[in-house]
A and B are shown apart, each in its own frame.
Chain A
Amino acid sequence: MYLSLSDWRSNKASNTSRAAQVAFKASPTVIALGIVSMLTDISSESVAAILPMYITGALGLSMIAYGFFEGLNQSASALVRIAAGYAADQTSRPKPVAVAGYGLSMVARVGLLFATGFAGIAAVIGVDRVGKGIRTAPRDAMIQQASQPEHLARSFGLHRLLDTIGATVGPMLAFVVLLLVPDGYRAVFVLSLAVAILGVAVLVLVVPNRKLGAKPLPAAQAHNSPAATAEEPGRSIRALKFKPMLRMLSRGRMGRMLCAAGLLGLLTVGDGFVYLALMAHGTMDYFWFPLLFVGSNLVFLLLAIPLGKLADRTSRAAVFVLGHLALALAYLCASGGGSLIFIVSALAALGLFYAATDGVLAALAGQLSPEGSVSTGIGAAQTVVAVARLLSATGFGVLWVLFGANLALLGAAALLLLVVPLAWYLLLGKSSQPAEEN
C-alpha cells in the first residue's frame, strides 16, 4: 500500500510532498470565505431548526405536503451545482457566480417573512436551495485559488471549520430566541436575514474578485493585502469547452476519482440513520437526539484542520478513502449497542469521517482539475457524492425496514470495507499513475 502511495506522491504537482517544507499561511481570502459561510450557515440553520415548528405551530399546516416538494428540490439543486461551476469556469470569474448564489439565498430569507401558504414556503425553500447549489462550486474554486497548493486540504479544512461553527451556532440562536419569545418565529427570520445580508456584504466587500487561473499571490503579499486583486500578468486561462470538459470529467484520474467518490457515496447512508440507530437502542431520551448532531460536529471542528494537514502531507486521496473506514466504524458502533462507549465512539467516528472527507474531497477535486475547469471539477465531485448519498439513504431505508437497524448497519459497514480497497485502487492504484495522464 505504501509503495503505491509514495509512487502517487511523485506526481507532476508533487504538492503533497512539499507540504512539510512550505510554511502554512492561512489565506485572508479563505478566512473571509469561511466567515461568509459561517454567517450564511447561522442564517440558514437557525431557520432550518425552527421551520417545521413554524409550519405546523404558527401556520397551522401539516408537514405532509412538504414531502411532495422534496424530490424536485433535491434534483434541481444537484443540476444547478454543476451548471454554476461550469458558468464560473466559462467566465473565469467565480465571485459573481458565488455572489448570485449567496444573494439568492438572502432573497429567500426576505420571502420567508411574507410566505404564509404552503406554495409560498415551498418556493422560498426551493430558491434557498438553488442559491446553495449555485454558490458551492465557485466558492470552493475561490478557496482553491487563494490557497497555497501545498496546503490545499488544510485550507479547505479551515473553511469547513468556520462553516460548521455557523451550522452549530444557528440552531442554538434560534432556540434562544424562541425561549425568550415563544412565538418569535418572525424574530428568528429577521435575525437570519440580517446575518445573511452581513454574509453577502463580507463576500462582496472583502473577498477579491480574481480571475480563475491567476497565480495565487505569494503568501507574504496575500497576508498583507486581503482585498488585493492580482493583476493578470498577460496570462489568460481558457476555460475548457463543453465537450473537453465532459471528457475531463469522465476520463483519466478525474473520472476515476468521481467513480471512487460515487461508490463510497453509495455506502454513506447519512448521519441521521446513525443517530436513529443509536436512539433505537432505547437507552437515550429523545431530549438527546438533537445533541448527537452537536457531538459529532464538535469532533469535526477539532479534526477538520489536523486531517487537512495530514492529507496535504501524505495523500489527499488516501485520507479521503481511508476516512471511510471511520464511517464503517461509526456504523459498527451504532449497531453495537446503546451504552455510552458506543454512543461516544459512533459520534467521534462520524466526526472523524467528515473531517477526513468533506474538505479533502474539494481539495482532491481541485487538485485533479486542469486549469480552467476547477469550478466544474469541484462541483461535479460534490454533485456525484450528493446524488450517491441520496440514493444511499433511500436504499438503506429499505434495508432498515427489511432487516432492522443493526443488521442493516452491519451490512453497510461490511460493504464499505469491501469498497474501500476498490476506491483505493481506482484513486491510488497502478493505473492511476500520473505518467499515463501526461
Chain B
Amino acid sequence: MSDTEPKGLGKKRTLVLIVIAVLVLGAAGVYSVQAFQRYQERTSGASAAALRDSMPEGDRIVFRNTAPGEGYGSMAAVALNAPSGQRALTDISCDRVAERAGLVSCMKTRRGIPTTFENDVLDAEGNLVETLPLPGIPSRTRISDGGLVATTSFVTGHSYAAGSFSTETTVTRADGTGYGNLEDFTMMVDGEELTAVDRNVWGVSFVSENEFYVTVASGGKTWLMRGSFSAKTLTSVIENAECPSVSPDRSRVAYKKRTGLGATVHWDIAVLDLKTGKETIIGLRDGFDDQLEWLDNDRLLYGVPRAGELGDSDVYVIDARAEAEPEVLIEHAWSPSVVRTAG
C-alpha cells in the first residue's frame, strides 16, 4: 500500500467495491434460497425412517425424531421390545423431550424476533397442561414418578465477545408450583458451603419425590450432588461428574465424566455404585455429550450427533460395565426417554 493513492474514491475502486458487493451478497442470497428449499424438502418429503400409524402399546421409548422428511423434530415413539422398528410420530415438536407419570415435558424453541424458548407440559393424550417460559436454550428435562418436572436451559449473553452463559435448572409441578431455581439451594462441597459466584446447576435425575441427583459446577470443577427438596440442600457426592441418571433400581448413578485435559473436551461414561461407592469408567472412543437414560438396570442410552449431517443424530445403547462397546439402537433419534407402563 503506497502513500500516493489517487485522489477521490476513483472509478476503478468504486467499480471493484460494487462488483465485490454484488458477488458476495448475491452468493449469500443464492445460498439462503437453496437452504430454504433444502429445508422444505427435508421437512415435507417422505421420512427417512420407517413409520407406523398407531402409538406402541405398553413399554416404549419416546424421543425426538431427527429423520429427514415428514415429522422432523417431532416427538416419536418406538416399542421397547422393538426399538429399531417402526416409529410412531406425534405432531408435538420438541428440542428435548421426556415422558413419565402420564406427563410429557417438551422443551422447545419458538422462532421469532427475538427467538424464545418454552417448556410445554402435556398429558399422555398430548393435551397441553401448562406452558412454562424458559430463560434460555433447552438442554435437559426429566420427570419424577410423582410428576415433578425438571428442566435445564442455557442462558446466554447477547454477545459471544462477552462470552457469558449460565444454566438455569428449575423443578416445578405441572400446575406451575414447585421448588423454583435450584441455584438458590444451599450447596455443600466436602462439608463446606459453596458460595462462589459462578455456580451452575444442571441435569436433574429424580430418586424420589424428595431426593434427586444433579450436577453443580463452579470454577471449572463439577460435582455430582445429592439434593433434597425438603431441606433445600445440595451435597457433593463425587467430583468430576455431570448429567446424572439414576438407575431404575436406584442402586447406581450413571453420568458424564470429563477425561482428557487441555483444549479437547472428551467425556466418558461413569457408573457409581451408591452402596459401595465404586466408580466404573466406560471409556468411549468418540466420547459423548448427553444425559444418559437407563434402558433397564443393565443398559444405558444416549444420543450422538451424526457426523456431517447437521441436525441429525442417533441413539446408542451400551452395557453399563467397563469395556462395553456402544451400538446404534434407534437411528435418526435424539433425547430418548424410556416409558414403563407397569411398576
Binding site for B on A (CB under 8 A): 44-45, 47-53, 56-68, 70, 73-74, 93, 95-96, 116, 118-119, 122, 125, 129, 132, 167, 171-172, 175-187, 190-191, 193-195, 197-198, 201-202, 205-206, 208-211, 224-229, 231-232, 270, 272, 285-287, 289-291, 293, 393-394, 397-398, 400-402
User: B28: which of A183, A194, A225 is its contact (CB, 8 Å)?
Assistant: A194
A210 to B, closest residue via Cβ:
B3
| A179:B13 contact, CB within 8 angstroms | no
| B265:A119 contact, CB within 8 angstroms | yes
A-B contact pairs, 13 of them (CB 8 A): A49-B158, A58-B311, A59-B310, A64-B202, A65-B265, A176-B113, A180-B36, A183-B42, A184-B32, A198-B21, A198-B24, A229-B5, A272-B164
Contact flags B1-34 to A (C-beta < 8 A → 1, else 0): 1111111111001001100110011011001100
B179 within 8 Å of A (CB atoms): no
**At the interface, is chain A mostly helix, strand, loop or mixed?**
helix
Q: How far is the CB of B168 from chain A (nearest CB, A)?
A: 10
| B35:A186 contact, CB within 8 angstroms | yes
| B17:A184 contact, CB within 8 angstroms | no
Residues of B close to A65: CB separation below 8 A: 265
| A401:B195 contact, CB within 8 angstroms | yes
B303 within 8 Å of A (CB atoms): yes
User: B313: which of A60, A74, A287 is its contact (CB, 8 Å)?
Assistant: A60
User: B8: which of A67, A202, A226, A290 is its contact (CB, 8 Å)?
Assistant: A226
> Given A70-B163, A227-B10, are A400 and B31 also a contact pair (CB < 8 Å)?
no
| B1:A95 contact, CB within 8 angstroms | yes
- B241-255 contacts to A (CB < 8 Å): 242-243
> Given A74-B163, A290-B158, are A201 and B17 also a contact pair (CB < 8 Å)?
yes
A400 to B, closest residue via Cβ:
B197
| B7:A225 contact, CB within 8 angstroms | yes
Residues of A close to B20: CB separation below 8 A: 197-198, 201
User: A225: which of B8, B161, B167, B222 is its contact (CB, 8 Å)?
Assistant: B8
Bound: A435/B32 CA distance, A? 61
User: A53: which of B42, B137, B164, B290 is its contact (CB, 8 Å)?
Assistant: B137
| B13:A205 contact, CB within 8 angstroms | yes
Residues of A close to B69: CB separation below 8 A: none
Bound: A58/B159 CA distance, A? 19
| B28:A193 contact, CB within 8 angstroms | yes
B15 to A, closest residue via Cβ:
A205
Q: How far is the CB of A70 from chain B (nearest CB, A)?
A: 5
Bound: A270/B164 CA distance, A? 11
Bound: A60/B167 CA distance, A? 16
Bound: A179/B110 CA distance, A? 9
| B28:A175 contact, CB within 8 angstroms | no
Most buried by A among B20, B73, B161, B289: B161
| A187:B8 contact, CB within 8 angstroms | no
| A206:B165 contact, CB within 8 angstroms | no
B279 within 8 Å of A (CB atoms): no
| A191:B28 contact, CB within 8 angstroms | yes
> Given A201-B20, A227-B5, are A187 and B35 also a contact pair (CB < 8 Å)?
yes
- B157-187 contacts to A (CB < 8 Å): 157-165, 167
Q: How far is the CB of B6 from chain A (nearest CB, A)?
A: 7
Residues of A close to B112: CB separation below 8 A: 175, 179
B133 to A, closest residue via Cβ:
A286
| B9:A226 contact, CB within 8 angstroms | yes
